[in-house]
Chain A
């Protein structure tokens, strides 16, 4: 398998990470060597194996649906790079 520049561009778009030509080429090389290494898994037949999604063999605990954190609006907004009163501010979305 080979990851070409077109694929890198596609993944970079999905990841919301802008990548210039030079970085894209470096990434293609890195990802190809990593995927060569990952291909080893194809040696194994796994048709009848159940996928393991969690090692914690436990069921989720139920609790009553109560508000525990009150009046934390200020705390939530505190670290935002740009805010206006009670809102996060982002670049204009609708023209």
Chain B
């Protein structure tokens, strides 16, 4: 079978279970393609030798009852993997080898999957284009010199470029959904508390969530049902009844009420995005759902709120990088000088910027004006959703205000970069689940995504809506393998 890497996760699992393919066949195929794909710069750390050993071991005594039997998988380099370097895309963690495993990756290996390597991302997941990574830009498989989005840029590039059958990313303000949208893939940000944060390098603890990134909705549902578990090691993990998302997946969404928020029709939104949204509305109607105009009045305040809350939490979380316990250390004349040089040389520009914003808004005299204010507005944003969900079952919006942009195009203006997340950030602030599915192409042939936002813990419902829409949209990603020589 020559086109193993073109198969979806579901197909690969089936073929391994039916013994048409071995884990070694599949693992080899993805390693070969990954090796030919260096130009994408999707990997920070490759673990190919070990992956192949594990695959061979699996084939000797295959347990075909597992959900991911011998499936190779690369993951975002924000997840701690025992004995495999974990950098968070930062120089300050360039030599960090965890002695423990994150709960989410542990869940994946327990179902039989095999680690291929660690995928590039924006430094500490702070970025929307993967350009803040210490390990360099990631190329979008869609076109040369195009950003894959961020922060899970390496993850999105690896799935779209078929370097891994599926992956996991993390999403603090859009870091799964925006890159999924930019690369023509599916990305789910689960409800806050659904997936354990244990062993994930922390950015903003009240917003961070891990989630699957896949070629299609069914694959996405399968991985979600594996990674979402209650975990006592994460104090914000929530003990709720989780569905068997892939088994319960249905395209029957008849009678579902889908809200269309007028505030997402922002100034200067390209007509292509507007048209895509209208098409999306048409699709859900054709599936038998009903659309209802709703209002989320505080939408335009979400981004300013986020840029107080997230940096504040980041400045606190990143205080641990002091050159003492782990990571990079610069030499200094005394202890304070060592701290200051370590952090100045170890963190990149965007991370320093955000630590400084966070430090400022938490500092004496400014706390009430900024941080407390933002927490209050966050409440108003959450109230908007609570109110809307009295009338609707889910909400449909564009995923991003534009398609992918060129590398370097937005690096000089932080605010214009931040605007990328205008449609995704409110979802994190309210702790809700959101999924981005590819829904069309713009005039340049670049993919565009639509986002479905659900009620808390209602992943099954948005997966079902996405599944029904996916069938109608019949999206075909235009991957030309331009980077393979």
Q: Does B289 contact A (CB under 8 A)?
A: no
Query: Which residue on chain B has the smallest CB distance to residue A49?
Result: B376
| A17 touches which of B206, B332, B347 (Cβ 8 Å) | B347
- Per-residue CB contact flags for chain B residues 333-359 toward chain A (1 = under 8 Å, else 0) read 111111111011001000011011101
Query: Which residue on chain B has the smallest CB distance to residue A29?
Result: B414
Q: Does B251 contact A (CB under 8 A)?
A: no
Tell me whether A31 and B373 are in contact (CB under 8 A).
no
Number of A-B contacts (CB under 8 A): 165
- A31-B356, A34-B357, A93-B335 in contact; A78/B376 too (CB < 8 A)? no
Query: Which residue on chain B has the smallest CB distance to residue A42?
Result: B373
- Count contacts on B: residues with CB < 8 A to the other chain: 71
Main SS at interface, chain A: loop
Q: Does B270 contact A (CB under 8 A)?
A: no
Tell me whether A60 and B235 are in contact (CB under 8 A).
yes
Give the residues from 286 to 331 in chain B that come closer than 8 angstroms, CB to CB, to chain A.
298, 300-301, 303-305, 307-308, 315, 319, 322-329
| B374 touches which of A11, A41, A80 (Cβ 8 Å) | A41
- Per-residue CB contact flags for chain B residues 185-196 toward chain A (1 = under 8 Å, else 0) read 000000011000
CA–CA, A39 and B323, complex, Å: 35
Tell me whether B431 and A56 are in contact (CB under 8 A).
yes
Query: Which residue on chain B has the smallest CB distance to residue A43?
Result: B301
Tell me whether A91 and B332 are in contact (CB under 8 A).
yes
Tell me whether B380 and A31 are in contact (CB under 8 A).
no
| A34 touches which of B236, B298, B415, B431 (Cβ 8 Å) | B415
Tell me whether B324 and A15 are in contact (CB under 8 A).
no
Tell me whether A61 and B232 are in contact (CB under 8 A).
yes
16 A-B residue pairs with Cβ-Cβ distance under 8 Å, sorted by A, are A14-B363, A16-B339, A16-B343, A17-B340, A17-B344, A27-B356, A33-B415, A34-B415, A38-B304, A38-B307, A40-B300, A51-B375, A51-B379, A53-B206, A55-B206, A92-B334
A-B contact sample (10 more), CB < 8 A, given A56-B192, A56-B193, A91-B332? A8-B356, A30-B414, A34-B414, A40-B304, A44-B301, A46-B373, A49-B377, A52-B379, A55-B382, A79-B326
Which B residues fall within an 8 A CB radius of A? 95-97, 99-100, 192-193, 206, 232, 235-236, 238-239, 298, 300-301, 303-305, 307-308, 315, 319, 322-329, 332-341, 343-344, 347, 352-353, 355-357, 359-360, 363, 370, 372-380, 382, 413-415, 418, 429-431, 456
Which 3 A/B pairs are nearest by Cβ-Cβ distance?
Answer: A55-B431, A51-B375, A79-B326
